[in-house]
Structure 1
Amino acid sequence: MGRIYERIDENQRKWISNQSMFFVGTAPSGDSGHINVSPKGPIGSLRVLDDHTVAYLDIVGSGAETIAHLRDNGRICVMFCAFDGPPRILRLHGEGEYVRPGDDGFDDLLALGFAEPEIAESMRAFIVVHVTRIADSCGYGVPLMSYEGERPHMDLSTAKRIRVEGEGAMRVYERKHNSESIDGLPALSG
């Protein structure tokens, strides 16, 4: 049976830091639109900032659903699950916000030692989650899997884009591919 917790305690912090990855879920307001679930990692790109706040470094990708949904309604859930060791799932529900490079607070967050990509230009934002509900569950349905390492593809793709298109290529990519969600909600536009 799952439990609800008052805060993110030291045991949870340690357990979170031992996971290989995490998942982020968001949805637009109303009863239409697409729910989004994104795998995120490495785990070093996420930090527990205090008993009710986590943040992760968001990298430029093919879409910007999380940011669009945060702009729309702020709702977010971060989920961790154990792929090795004792079975467990931990969900952090809350209200999220994003902090872009150049925004107040971005450099302060960056200074906290998040795992960064090889190329700084690929950093899109920090997603900061003000956690309102902390709950765990058994995780019996999560398969046992072995961690083999991080994939190099993100850094290689970014390096190639900048080599071919020049400095600022990631901001151009964002304007072209991350300006709105798949449902037409504003993401990195306006």
Structure 2
Amino acid sequence: MAKQFAAIDEARQAFVERQRIFFAGSAVEGSRVNISPRSTEHLHVLGPNAVAYLDLTGSGSETAAHIRAGGAMTIMLCAFEGPPLILRLYGKGRVDFRGSPAYDAFLAERYDGREPLGARQVVTLGINLVQTSCGYAVPLFARTGERPVLDRWAEAKGEDGLKAYRLEKNLVSIDGLPTGFAEA
């Protein structure tokens, strides 16, 4: 039932683009495994062996810490409507923080140079394996929309409040690993 591919082809890219949620998983030896659900609103297929997402400010930054420590990363998408399928993208990640040339280039290319409120970093996954599996046990769900809570929270914090929050909550992982984040 599982099939493996060296890259994202047209059919799998179309599947990625139809989904509304993905899960980013990461870990490093001795750490907890982190799995974060995310909206695909900010997920972009960059090519057959790379995807990236604009990561918004959150209560932790486990993925960045795991990537910095050399850990593995997986992105998983699964069909909650239509034909069943699970798609996993395996590889190594890279984090480009706010203000870096790569971050600015990503915004220029994908967001007309405008930074969405609350954005803190770009996470890029260099893919070394694409795997699909049946997804037969994944339940059907109907999408009713995006939650506006994170946007409202970021608006209420404002840029200065977001900066202070990131400095308080995003410098180390829950296991004490440095994320590499340094607010300018």
TM-score grouping bracket, smaller chain normalisation: over 0.9
Cα distance in 2 between the residues matched to 1:63 and 1:4: 32
The alpha-carbon distance between structure 1 residues 8 and 114, as it changes in their structure 2 partners (threshold 3 A), is: farther
- The answer for the alignment partner of 1:93 in structure 2 is 90
Counting only pairs closer than 5 Å after superposition, residues 12-161 of structure 1 correspond to structure 2 as: 12-29=12-29, 32-41=30-39, 43-113=40-110, 120-161=116-157
Conservation of the 8 A alpha-carbon contact between 2:97 and 2:181: no
- Secondary structure of the structure 2 residue equivalent to 1:111: helix
Conservation of the 8 A alpha-carbon contact between 1:76 and 1:93: yes
Structure 1 spans left out of the alignment, 5+ residues: none
CA RMSD of aligned residues (A): 1.9
Deviation at 1:68, TM superposition (A): 0.5
Q: State yes or no: 1:172 paired with 2:161.
A: no
- Secondary structure of the structure 1 residue equivalent to 2:174: coil
Counterpart AA for 1:93: Y
Deviation per residue, 1:68-125 (Å, 9 max, x gap): 00001141000000000010000000000001111121122113335999x7341010
- Secondary structure of the structure 2 residue equivalent to 1:102: coil
The TM-score with structure 2 as length reference comes to 0.93
Deviation per residue, 1:142-182 (Å, 9 max, x gap): 100001000000110011112xxxx4221111110111000
- Secondary structure of the structure 2 residue equivalent to 1:183: coil
Conservation of the 8 A alpha-carbon contact between 2:24 and 2:35: yes
- Secondary structure of the structure 2 residue equivalent to 1:63: coil
The TM-score with structure 1 as length reference comes to 0.90
Provide the identity percentage.
Answer: 37
Counterpart AA for 2:41: G
The alpha-carbon distance between structure 1 residues 65 and 115, as it changes in their structure 2 partners (threshold 3 A), is: farther
Count of residues in Structure 1 that have an aligned counterpart in Structure 2: 182
Cα distance in 1 between the residues matched to 2:128 and 2:56: 25
Structure 2 spans left out of the alignment, 5+ residues: none
Runs of 4+ in 1 over 4 A off after TM superposition: 114-117
Cα distance in 1 between the residues matched to 2:154 and 2:137: 35
Conservation of the 8 A alpha-carbon contact between 1:44 and 1:115: no
